[in-house]
Amino acid sequence: MTTRQGNASSTDRSAAVAGALPDRAYSLDSTPPTDYEPESPIDFAKASLTEIADHFKTDKGSLKHHYTPIYERYLAPLRARAGLHILEVGVACGASLKMWSRYFRDPLVVGADVRAECAPLCRGYDNISIRICDARSTPQPETFDVIIDDASHISADIVEIFRANWPSLAPGGLYFIEDLKCTHNPRYPEQTAVRAPPGRFARRHFIDFVDAELQRLDWRRGEIEYVHFYTELAVLRRRES
């Protein structure tokens, strides 16, 4: 039974659709936060994560990155768990927050973003909350079962977001880092809307972080059970104990 999931009003839905943008625009940090709501409903309980992603126009699905089959490999066993607590850093237009809110049985979804304009998004969903903060230095107070870093994709930011938020991940929890190509794409500093000193884009921040964590894993001294790499995506699991 779902108790915290809401729906956007018909007025909000019509306004959102009337101002619809190109599909992938809803996942870009260069797009002004736009609260898109699809006109036609789907059966969320029977839909795959990819179908739900495409419904809300997040690029985690078939619109671009094709992350959702990988996510589903890890998250399908958690789908029926009520009260699953999810943190996604990087809100964009809130499309993936809506995806998570509909994929799981009865989740609590928190989105964190530095842009104040994101605050009004997803107001029709009473199981989504958006917090305006810098996740590189401001960890959230709750414990989360799943944390997703879909923020700036700047190499130094990825490490700082991990260091600040990993302590909030529950034992056995999953931590996802998206868009790793950005850490070595020489054009990314020009492509992103985020401005940062050139040194923060350097790949070495991420590589040094991975190397240090793998060494701790090998010596059984860290909290990471495994690190799995896929195309542009990393998955880390926190040890149970």
Residue % of the chain over a pLDDT of 70:
92
pLDDT in tens, 87-120: 999 999 999 999 999 999 999 999 999 999 999 9
Residue % of the chain over a pLDDT of 90:
85
Beta partners for 235?
A: 176, 228
17 pLDDT above the threshold of 70: no
Name the residues annotated as catalytic.
153
208 pLDDT above the threshold of 60: yes
1 pLDDT above the threshold of 70: no
Cα–Cα distance, 41 to 5 (Å, whole number) = 14
Sheet with 233-238, strands from edge to edge, namely: 128-132, 106-113, 82-89, 144-149, 169-177, 233-238, 224-230
144 pLDDT above the threshold of 50: yes
Query: What predicted TM-score, i.e. pTM, was given to this entire model?
Result: 0.91
pLDDT band per the 50, 70, 90 thresholds, residue 24:
confident
Class of domain 10-238: alpha beta
Q: Secondary structure of 69-132 in the HEC alphabet?
A: HHHHHHHHHHCCCEEEEEEEECCCCCHHHHHHHHHCCEEEEEEEECCHHHCCCCCCCCCEEEEE
Average pLDDT over all residues of the chain: 91
